[in-house]
């Protein structure tokens, strides 16, 4: 005979699996969006080079961060989003530098 706790436990495992599937689906969407973001950054890097702008633009980075943080509905989420987006911004900046250095006609010092 199956006990009530076993049924409850089974239901909780199913719920856990459902939440994990939702996170997996969100991760797929995020990775697609992040790749799209990197493609945009590549285009921006090319344009910055053609107009003589530096990759690092602290004011723009602050603007991006502020645009994201206004969507957090709790202080805890805001702190987490800030850390996540600081990492995204840093990796995007590194990507731009790496992309520029791989282009033969774009000076990597810009």
State the CATH number of the domain containing residue 69.
1.20.59.10
Examine residue 22 and state whether it is found in any structural domain, yes or no.
yes
What share of the chain has pLDDT > 90, as a percent? 69
Q: For the chain, how many structural domains are there in total?
A: 1
Within 10 A of 45 (CB to CB), how many other CB atoms are there? 23
Examine residue 107 and state whether it is found in any structural domain, yes or no.
no
Within 10 A of 28 (CB to CB), how many other CB atoms are there? 10
What domain range includes position 65? 4-101
User: To which residue do tokens 């206004």 refer?
Assistant: 70
CA-CA distance, 12 to 10, in Å (whole number)?
A: 5
Examine residue 109 and state whether it is found in any structural domain, yes or no.
no
pLDDT value at residue 38: 96
Examine residue 106 and state whether it is found in any structural domain, yes or no.
no
Tokens read off for 57: 């633009």
Confidence of residue 5 (pLDDT cuts 50, 70, 90): confident
Examine residue 97 and state whether it is found in any structural domain, yes or no.
yes
CA-CA distance, 25 to 44, in Å (whole number)?
A: 29
Using the predicted structure, report yes or no on whether residue 2 has a pLDDT greater than 90.
no
Examine residue 83 and state whether it is found in any structural domain, yes or no.
yes
Confidence of residue 79 (pLDDT cuts 50, 70, 90): very high
């Amino acid at each position: 005979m199956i006990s009530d706790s076993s049924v409850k436990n089974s239901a909780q495992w199913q719920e856990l699996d459902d939440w994990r599937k939702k996170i997996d689906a969100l991760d797929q969407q995020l990775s697609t969006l992040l790749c799209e973001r990197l493609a945009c950054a590549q285009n921006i890097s090319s344009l910055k080079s053609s107009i003589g702008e530096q990759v690092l633009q602290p004011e723009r980075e602050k603007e991006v961060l502020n645009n994201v943080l206004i969507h957090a509905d709790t202080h805890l989420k805001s702190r987490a989003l800030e850390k996540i987006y600081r990492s995204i911004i840093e990796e995007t900046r590194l990507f731009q530098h790496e992309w520029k250095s791989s282009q033969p006609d774009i000076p990597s010092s810009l």
